[in-house]
Structure 1
């Protein structure tokens, strides 16, 4: 199965960056129309976000009915357990897509995400492309070297060094933080060494 952890419908990641699906409900509807393309024995397993304030029960029920057994709702099983057991992750732009990297899972990205890089994931830009991708889930893949380089960049450049003192207090590397803030203010990227590009 492919795991699809749903996002919070009114979160800015959705309202600003959902891409062609437009919303969580739009993604559910697109999955309902395309899930039948999956080969025999495959399904998409969806899980509602635990922080969602509005229920997606009605659109999910319609989608499950339309998809002919190819969409399954599992709100009970732990998200990380479902991710680990899956053959891949399907998301608009959730950080669960990044979590999938730690489990060496292929990822399908439907929306705008900073990690929607071909080879790192499989970006899908239309409903027709989604149906084509779902028709061959066993062909989903990623470039392990690109993923390793990407994750190293996140570790060495994007996230500042944090240390914990014996008293439990947290300290962020002030030089790294200053470089990141300068880069953000100037719209400049940082290299893995922390230098401006």
Structure 2
């Protein structure tokens, strides 16, 4: 059996764990199996101690509150009821304590193992991440890739938290060291909404893709846009101040609640929830997004992009940034006379597709992707080599 390289406690990575032939040790997720395992390892007293939080490796309060907030955003009619909120919060805290105690015992059993987590922001994977950090263990964080047939795998995190460079000088340095063609499209997500007639869009508009308000991209990486209702209100004020502009908004197909009945309609803001996203990008003068992958698709399609939050593609010269409402008005006012550095965009996209992302789906698992994950975790892959090489080059340039 292969030596244990990773400890994993995830609903997403079952196939990967099975394919690993023992190099990934999977902590049970199902509640009965989890209780049985911790009883076997620590006895009845260990369960009572874990429920009480005795000897806990990490504080789990933030993770539980985050989980509750996501529930409240998706099902406010249920999870904002005080008694439901209190009971659910208590249940999740007790369950999280049991999970953390079991994950801790697995780490203690394998002192050289890293944490392997999917996304890292949501339970139960976030428990493995914070316990691993508390115990001084390194982590490898996985997620779906931006392009078909790819995955994210990074030692720091996913999306904006990752080690993907956002220094434009890195891409100038690396441009001749990478090969491979640009991808033609990003991963598409099928709409879950009911079919309806398509909306006819105006000749000129800014495309505004809404995002899932309970997602990590908004809860963690949106410093000033609180939710999609707030986002709409910002666009409304922008439309009022710049009367020549029109906006086409598309709500995220994966989120069940619409803001349309909760906002004030505007004659120059149109909802196009059933139009194809790629078509809306292609017809737009620019894409205005918090940090959606739609912004990256806009770059792939040669469009101008304005970001309002922390995005992995937020590289100076590639996008316009707006860190508050005044900056947004300024960015939109200049977008017609500004153009992105297309050479930089081309290198960035080729680097992301051919170097940063790993080939394959981490939720399925095969020999090739297991090898790629081990290389990334140990700093032996091309991304690790190139980012380390750039730092050496920059130090030499600075004489340090």
Q: 1:128 aligned to 2:326?
A: yes
What corresponds to 1:178 in structure 2?
A: 374
Q: 1:78 aligned to 2:279?
A: no
Q: 1:109 aligned to 2:307?
A: yes
What corresponds to 1:17 in structure 2?
A: 221
In structure 2, distance between residues paired with 1:132 and 1:193:
33
What corresponds to 1:186 in structure 2?
A: none
User: Normalising by the residue count of structure 2, what TM-score does the alignment of the two structures yield?
Assistant: 0.42
Which secondary structure state, in structure 2, belongs to the residue aligned with residue 20 of structure 1? coil
Match runs of 1:1-197 below 5 Å: 1-38=205-242, 40=244, 42-59=245-262, 61-62=263-264, 64-65=265-266, 69-162=267-360, 172-183=368-379, 190-192=384-386
Query: Residues 157 and 196 of structure 1: is their aligned pair in 2 closer, same or farther, counting only changes over 3 Å?
Result: farther
User: Normalising by the residue count of structure 1, what TM-score does the alignment of the two structures yield?
Assistant: 0.80
Where structure 1 has 5 or more consecutive residues not aligned to the other structure, the ranges are 164-168, 184-188
In structure 1, distance between residues paired with 2:378 and 2:229:
38
Q: Structure 1 residues 77-86 or 29-38, which shifts more?
A: 29-38
Q: Answer yes or no: is the 8 Å Cα contact 1:36–1:70 preserved in 2.
A: no
Q: Deviations over 1:77-100 (max 9, x none)?
A: 111111111111111000011111
In structure 1, distance between residues paired with 2:369 and 2:388:
12
* Count of residue pairs the alignment pairs up: 181
CA radius of gyration, larger in: 2
Q: Answer yes or no: is the 8 Å Cα contact 1:37–1:134 preserved in 2.
A: no
Q: Deviations over 1:21-62 (max 9, x none)?
A: 22222211111111233352x311101111112221234x41
Q: Deviations over 1:109-145 (max 9, x none)?
A: 0011121122111111110111122234312421111
Per the TM alignment, residue 175 of structure 1 is displaced from its structure 2 partner at its CA by 4.2
